[in-house]
Amino acid sequence: MTTLAWKNPFHDKVRLAVTLTGIVFALVLIIVQFGLFLGFLDTTANVVVRSGVDLWLTAPGVPHVNGAAAFPEKRRYKALAVDGVERVERFALQFSQWKLPAGSQESVQVTGFDLDGGMGGPWNIIAGSIEDLRGEDTIIVDQLYLEKLGVKGVGDSIEINQRRARIVGLTQGIRSFTTSPYVYTSFKNGQNYTLLKEDETYFLLVKAKPGVDLQKLKADLRTAIPDVDVFTNDEMRDRTQSYWLFTTGAGVTTLMGAVLGLLVGIVVVAQTIYSATVDHIREFGTLKAMGARNSYIYRIIIEQALISATMGYSLALVAGWFVAKSSETGSAAILLPPEMAVGLFFLALAMCIVASVFSIRKATAIDPAMVFKG
Amino acid sequence: MEPLIEVRNVTKTYGTGDSAVTALRPTDLTVLPGEVLLMCGPSGSGKTTLLSIMGAILSATSGSVKLLGQEIVGIKESRLPDIRLANIGFIFQGFNLFPALTALENVEVALTLKGLSKSAARKRAQELLEQVGLADRTKHHPADLSGGQKQRVAIARALAGDPKIILADEPTAALDSQSGQLVMETLSTLARDRGRAVVIVTHDSRVLHYGTRMVHIADGRLQEQAHGAQQSHQMEHEGVTA
């Protein structure tokens, strides 16, 4: 690294602060917008992604995981007979009415799963356990929604679809994209809360034997049970995410926000780096008069941009982490996964280098009047 | 004696067609080793343009410019940095030091451009600053130096590549009399004792007696050449500052 490249950014503290502010602002904007987008995708399909399911069997034409229709439970036995299937569990996921203590109602999504198998069950349990759901009329809710649901925590009782329900556990961070929180319970309770008939289910969740080709198993299941749809877990995730992303205003807005955040961030960084580089134009002119080759000047400019990018990124990452952390207790998740943090670093480097390259032409085209001007 | 700078029939026109502006009309000039050539003339007369052409940072529109016998008009632009690096040292009115670097580092930059290692550049930069009387200011940044000290750092930097030609644009304009005198003594010593060609654009009558020759430029034309006592009379005639 050249001495000039290393010392230039630190010499003018105000200029450095302005440059870093621009870069940090741009990167935090990208973190927030992309974090919201990733949070949106995660929230829409979290019950699918974390279900541990290999294949989903649904009634024909089910568009996404939150739009299930009931179908006969006895398809389960046909599925179990297909070679490669290890186990098949019933699963209920349906909207239902939660009666608040004050008498009004809130919509919830009752999630009834097989307590023995556990597929489609809750995660991040911070109070109680899945075993506690073996009791009659027991449920687990997420602590994010306690206030919304008008309860204080474990031990409280309310009514779902006019049936008693007692909170025996709490989860943390299981958000619902819709305004209806997930309420976890046993499949049997789920049938009751969603008014599902005894011999019906909303989904059949298939766990394949180890090493089984899922696409082949999917085809075999379709052949064996032609009156159900079969999806791999990834397909169900994609269907659900696509549905909420492209058919709702919120999805499109979040997507556009992420794209615009990226564009605005790029423009702000480009403007900041360009301005910081052009501030030193006279010095580059002097260097060129002294006999420096363009490559030497390119090197200084790019090194300066890399220093600014690295410092700006580090600060933005800390700020972004705090933003993401604070969103954990809010209704909208802002995710900052490691992959995004790494990608953002390379994005920051790329943005700064590209912006500095734009200023290079200006810096290396010597105007003698400028160099000699007093 | 072989001239270090040889300008023959050089012109410079900015723009084309109706908007073309002629900055330099056909001009001839020769500068020999040991000469301190003063160039004077009113603002916009073409002094800086001629200095830039001689310094290989501006291309002439036509004519011939030879530096140490090497023609520089018409050669590839990519070769010009090497020619500047090898032959020319620049001194600017505004010093043009790098504000983020210390005096020592400012001189080191020029030496590293010449390909010296970091340690060799540091040693040589120290020597050069000692030569210009700034041994005790090596760690100071330009902002902490007086105008005269800054210009002496600039001189040390210009000498870093041991150039045969020194081109100075108003080197004493921003300095008090004592500092200006010290700078001019340094430059004239370089010319006299080490055979360098020093070309100085100036409006400062205080520097007259340091020049071995003076040329006058007006309207892009090298009009007069004066020697010795004539210089003083001519500059007074032009109303330059004393």
pLDDT in tens, B183-220: 899 899 989 999 999 999 988 888 888 999 999 999 88
Within a domain: A239: no
User: Per the CB < 8 Å rule, is B84 touching A373?
Assistant: no
- Residue B222, beta-bridge partner list: B217
Q: Please indicate if any CB of chain B lies within 8 Å of the CB of A370.
A: no
Phi, psi of A258, rounded to the nearest 5 degrees: -65, -45
Shortest Cα–Cα distance, B163 to chain A (Å): 11
Contacts of A289 in chain B (CB under 8 A): 55, 57, 84, 90
* DSSP conformation letters of A197-255: -TTEESEEEEEEPTT--HHHHHHHHHHH-TTSEEEEHHHHHHHHHHHHHHSSHHHHHHH
| Residues A112 and A121 sit within 8 Å (Cβ to Cβ) | no
Within a domain: A233: no
Residue B240: pLDDT over 60: no
Domain with B19 in it? 5-94+163-238
Domain with A20 in it? 3-44+249-372
Shortest Cα–Cα distance, B224 to chain A (Å): 24
Within a domain: B176: yes
**A108 and A177 assigned to the same domain:** yes
**A103 and A159 assigned to the same domain:** yes
CA–CA distance from A324 to each of A32, A35, A45, A260, A337 (Å)?
A: 8, 8, 19, 19, 10
Q: Please indicate if any CB of chain B lies within 8 Å of the CB of A292.
A: yes
Residue B226: pLDDT over 80: no
Residues 148-167 of B with CB under 8 A from A: 157, 161
Name the band, by pLDDT with cuts 50, 70 and 90, for residue B1: confident
**A300 and A336 assigned to the same domain:** yes
Q: Which of A161, A194, A227 is the last residue of a domain?
A: A227
CATH assignment at residue B10: 3.40.50.300
> For residue A356, what pLDDT is reported?
82
Within a domain: A244: no
Name the band, by pLDDT with cuts 50, 70 and 90, for residue B11: very high
**A253 and A365 assigned to the same domain:** yes
> For residue A5, what pLDDT is reported?
86
Q: Please indicate if any CB of chain B lies within 8 Å of the CB of A374.
A: yes
Structural domain count, chain A: 2
Within a domain: A24: yes
Within a domain: A242: no
Task: Tell me the per-residue pLDDT of B47-76, one tens digit each, with 9 for 90 and over.
Answer: 989 999 999 988 899 999 999 999 999 998
**A77 and A154 assigned to the same domain:** yes
Shortest Cα–Cα distance, B142 to chain A (Å): 12
> For residue A80, what pLDDT is reported?
95
User: Of A320, A317, A369, A373, which Cα lies nearest the Cα of A345?
Assistant: A317
Regions in chain A scoring below 70 on pLDDT: 1, 362-370, 373-374
In this prediction, residues B39-43 reach a mean pLDDT of: 89
Within a domain: A237: no
User: Of A313, A300, A355, which Cα lies nearest the Cα of A24?
Assistant: A313
Contacts of A11 in chain B (CB under 8 A): 99-100
User: Per the CB < 8 Å rule, is A290 touching B169?
Assistant: no
| Residues B50 and B217 sit within 8 Å (Cβ to Cβ) | yes
User: Per the CB < 8 Å rule, is A293 touching B100?
Assistant: no
User: Of B53, B50, B41, B150, which Cα lies nearest the Cα of B98?
Assistant: B150
Structural domain count, chain B: 1
> For residue A47, what pLDDT is reported?
93
Residues 172-231 of A with CB under 8 A from B: none
User: Per the CB < 8 Å rule, is A369 touching B98?
Assistant: no
**A209 and A299 assigned to the same domain:** no
> For residue B241, what pLDDT is reported?
46
Closest alpha carbon within chain A to B108: A3
